[in-house]
Amino acid sequence: MTSPQTIEIPVKGMDCAECTVHVQQALSAVPGVKQAQVFLTSEKAILQVDTDLADLPTLRKAVESAGYTSPVEGQVKEGTTASNTFGNITRPILTIFALVFSVVLLIVVAGEWLGLLDTVTDFIPWPIGYALVLLTGYPIFLNVIRAALRRQIISHTLMTLGVIAALVIGQWPTAVINVFFMRVGEYAEEFTTERSRRAVKNLTAMAPQTARVEREGKEQEIPVAQVRVDEVVIVRPGEKIPVDGVVVGGQATINQAAITGESIPVEAEVGASVFAATVAQLGGLRVQAKRVGADTTFGRVIKMVEEAEAHRADVQRVADKFSAYFLPVVLGIAAVTFIISRNPLSVAAVLVVACSCSFALATPIAMLASIGAGAKRGLLIKGGRYLELLDKADVVLVDKTGTLTIGRPQLTNIVPLTTLSTAELLALAASAERYSEHPLAETVRLAAQQQQLTLTEPEQFEAVPGIGVKATVRGTQVTVGNYRILPAATTVALSAALEEQGKTLLYVLQDDLLVGVLGAADTLRPEVPAALEAIRVQGVKQVQLLTGDNERTAKALAEQLAISYRANLLPEDKIRVVKEYQAKGHTVVMIGDGVNDAPALAQADVGIAMGVAGTDVAIEAAHMVIMREDWRLVPEVFSIAHRTLRIVKMNFGFTMLYNLVGLGLAAFGLLPPVVAAAAQSLPDLGILANSSRLLKQRSLEIPYASLPISHDIETTSSSCACCVPTIAPGSNHLSASNRKISKEI
Instruction: Give the residue numbers annotated as catalytic, written as ranges.
Output: 399
Terminal Cα distance for the chain, rounded: 67
Question: What contacts 355, CB < 8 A, 6 or more positions away?
Answer: 158, 159, 161, 162, 163, 165, 178, 330, 680
DSSP E strands in 377-494: the ranges are 379-381, 395-399, 405-416, 460-464, 468-473, 476-481
Question: In 29-154, which residue ranges form alpha helices assigned H by DSSP?
Answer: 56-65, 76-113, 118-123, 126-149
* Residue 139 exposure: Cα atoms within 13 Å on the Cβ side: 21
Q: At 281, phi and psi to the nearest 5? A: -80, -40
Nearest to 107 by CA among 95, 96, 118: 118
H-helix or E-strand spanning residue 666: helix 633-667
Cα–Cα distance between 289 and 227 in angstroms, integer? 8
Cα–Cα distance between 407 and 449 in angstroms, integer? 20
Q: Secondary structure of 509-571 in the HEC alphabet?
A: EECCEEEEEEEEEEEECCCHHHHHHHHHHCCCCEEEEECCCCHHHHHHHHHHHCCEEECCCCH
| CB neighbour burial string for 28-64, b if at least 16 within 10 angstroms, e if fewer | eebebbeebbbbbbbbbbbbebeeeebeeeebbebbe
Bin 568: left if φ > 0, else alpha if -120 < ψ < 50, else beta: left
Question: In 343-484, which residue ranges form alpha helices assigned H by DSSP?
Answer: 344-354, 358-361, 364-376, 384-392, 422-432, 439-450
